[in-house]
Amino acid sequence: MGVKVNAQSEGEENDYVKAVYELSRLFLERTVRPWLHLDFIWRRSRFAARYKNALAAVHTYSREVIRDRKASLEAAQKNTNPESNDGETFGVKKRMAFLDLLLQSNQAHKIMTDEDVREEVDTFMFEGHDTTTAGISWVFFLLALHPEVQERVYEEIESIFPPGDNRPATMQDLNELNLLERCIKEALRLYPSVSFFGRTLSEDIQLGGYHVPAQTIVGIHAYHVHRDERYYPDPEKFDPDRFLPENTENRHPYAYIPFSAGPRNCIGQKFALLEEKSVVSTVLRRYRLKSVRTREEQKIMHEIITRPMDGILLYLETRKQGQI
Q: Which parts are annotated binding residues for heme?
A: 266
164 CB-near residues (< 8 Å, 6+ apart):
321, 322
Closest alpha carbon to 150 in 140, 160, 159: 140
Question: Would you list the DSSP string of 269-295?
Answer: HHHHHHHHHHHHHHHHHHEEEEESS-T
Phi/psi for 90 (5° steps) reads 55, 30
The three-class DSSP label of residue 312 is: coil
CB 122 within 8 A of CB 156: no
Q: Cα 88–94–95 angle (5° rounding)?
A: 145
Closest alpha carbon to 15 in 103, 131, 125, 136: 125
Which amino acids are annotated as binding site, given as ranges?
Answer: 266
CA 23 to mean position of chain CA atoms: 17
CB 319 within 8 A of CB 287: yes
Q: Rounded distance, CA 169 to CA 161, Å?
A: 9
35: DSSP letter:
G
Q: Rounded distance, CA 184 to CA 156, Å?
A: 14
Number of H helices, E strands in the chain: 11, 10
